[in-house]
Amino acid sequence: MAFDIAITGAEIATTTGAFAADVGVRDGKVAALVQPGEDIEAAETVEAAGLTLMPGLVDVHSHHREPGFTHKEDIASATAACAAGGVTTTFAMPNVYPVPNTAEALESMFERYRRSAIVNWNVNAAGTDVDQIPALAAMGIAAFKVFMVVDTGRDYPHMPGIGVHDHGRLMAIMEACAAVDVPLMVHPHDQALMDHIERGFWERGERDAKAYAKAYAAHDGLIWDSAVATLLRLQEATGVHLHLLHVQTERSVELIAQAKARGQRVSAEVNPWALFLGNEWENIERLGSYALSYWVDEHHVAALWDGLRDGTLDLVSTDHAPHTREEKEPGWTDGWKANTGTPSAQFYARMMLDAAHRGKLTLERVVELTATAPARIFRVGGKGSVTVGADADLVLVDRARTAEIRDDEVLSKIGYSPYAGQSYTGMPVRTFVGGRTVFADGEVTGRPGTGTQSRRLDRAVSLR
């Protein structure tokens, strides 16, 4: 029987090991895995000897900036970066305008994705209006998101109306999310402590990007640990599935480990900036606000790698967050004025493959952290594994290829990467979404509108 596409000669990477097989794709799904060299008839054959075939990456935390902030990025440019980065499903964060905290605003965002997305997508709706949560949940979203941070020297990316740092309101939101059984993602941050800490910096006249990085990291990450402790206790009280965004301290990892040992329903993520950018003070000196600028001290970074290896930390997502150079430049004199966030969707597969290359993680663990776990945890069916019947959302990677990240290859609208100059071994060379090639030979070939919504299933999915 004939297939639409045959992928031959590659090794297949899974969470339990790699094996050699040829893959037949039909009607957008993986239809067969056969012995290498077995006759496999297909309209198109992709010769992939020497390459590794992985499930496409599932990035549950990305800022696409549309609608409202499309001078930074839009759905087409963000999903082009995804295609080139091996990301086949991307979840958008809700700090756009209008904020998707009503069914009407969310539906109008969905319309944009149907028109423009090159890869599969979903939107993490804002959970700021408790009354709207049931209607939003019914739209197939995979998570709600709230920020505990409110900007004090600028009005983006954490604009008024999107931050919730009142614990009573947070608890009400958690109860509402628990009632509809949709996970709540929270950006942990203790705003009251931050207000106090940053006042001290300002009174001493310390305002540049370095001061900003130090203020956030003050007392060894107090603002984050305090928030994580509160959130975990609230999770216990409400039973919500809590997903902790951008974990970056040793103490937070300990708290999460304790909560998991207690059987709490919590998942946690790490972002590339914590492992490959803010992990070196030299980067913050050199890049200022272009480095985000969260500073993750050495002992924290070691705890993050340990947590990623031992399963305390469940997944790696990007926190892809582009801002223009004009929005970053003020950081040299006032870190609080610069927009915070860094783009990474196009390049984090390289970083994670490099971690496997250097022995920091196994390839199995990389597959789990970037694809299988996010699909399972957020219940998106058909994603996150290369198995018969799964969606043909796949990425071919060359694990031996070493390349330096360059600004001139950046597909994100802003045209630069804070990772420029860094070299990694291992990179995506071809990406398939629903069996269609959306990236090959260095070119994005996917058309806007190729992607579909990766809806949350009502019941748990089992994935290998």
Which residues lie near Zn ion (CB under 5 A)?
A: 319
Query: Nearest distance from residue 93's CB to Zn ion, in Å?
Result: 5
Tell me whether residue 319 or residue 391 sits nearer to Zn ion (CB atom).
Answer: 319
Tell me whether residue 120 or residue 340 sits nearer to Zn ion (CB atom).
Answer: 340
Q: Which residue is nearest to Zn ion (CB)?
A: 319
Contacts of 34 (CB under 8 A, 6+ apart): 21, 22, 24, 40
Sequence length of the chain is 464
Whether residue 111 contacts residue 443, with contact meaning beta carbons closer than 8 Å, is answered with: no
Q: Tell me which residue of 422, 431, 464, 424 sits closest to 450, measured CA to CA.
A: 431
Sign of CA dihedral 358, 360, 363, 367: negative
Tell me whether residue 126 or residue 392 sits nearer to Zn ion (CB atom).
Answer: 126
Burial class (CB in 10 A: 0-12, 13-18, 19+), 359: exposed
For 351, the enclosing helix (H) or strand (E) is helix 348-357
Tell me whether residue 331 or residue 446 sits nearer to Zn ion (CB atom).
Answer: 331
Query: Nearest distance from residue 69's CB to Zn ion, in Å?
Result: 13
Q: Tell me which residue of 71, 24, 102, 125 sits closest to 387, measured CA to CA.
A: 24
Query: Nearest distance from residue 50's CB to Zn ion, in Å?
Result: 36
Partners of 45 in beta bridges: 6
Contacts of 269 (CB under 8 A, 6+ apart): 60, 61, 243, 244, 245, 246, 247, 313, 314, 315, 316, 317
Whether residue 149 contacts residue 161, with contact meaning beta carbons closer than 8 Å, is answered with: no
Residue 340 DSSP symbol: P
Query: Is residue 437 classed as helix, strand or coil in its secondary structure?
Result: strand
Residue 391 DSSP symbol: B
Tell me whether residue 190 or residue 391 sits nearer to Zn ion (CB atom).
Answer: 190
Tell me whether residue 190 or residue 319 sits nearer to Zn ion (CB atom).
Answer: 319
The order of strands in the sheet holding 394-404 is: 17-20, 11-14, 52-55, 394-404, 423-433, 436-440, 443-444
Query: Nearest distance from residue 208's CB to Zn ion, in Å?
Result: 23
Residue whose entry in the numeric block shows the structure tokens 């019941």? 459
Q: What are the distances in angstroms from CA 62 to CA 72, 84, 139, 245?
A: 13, 15, 19, 11
Tell me whether residue 73 or residue 319 sits nearer to Zn ion (CB atom).
Answer: 319
Query: Nearest distance from residue 95's CB to Zn ion, in Å?
Result: 8
Query: Is residue 273 classed as helix, strand or coil in its secondary structure?
Result: helix
Tell me whether residue 110 or residue 294 sits nearer to Zn ion (CB atom).
Answer: 294
Query: Nearest distance from residue 398's CB to Zn ion, in Å?
Result: 29
- The interaxial angle of helices 298-310 and 250-261, nearest 10 deg, is 30
Tell me whether residue 323 or residue 436 sits nearer to Zn ion (CB atom).
Answer: 323
Residue whose entry in the numeric block shows the structure tokens 């089992």? 462
Chain centroid, CA 34 distance in Å: 32
Tell me whether residue 335 or residue 435 sits nearer to Zn ion (CB atom).
Answer: 335
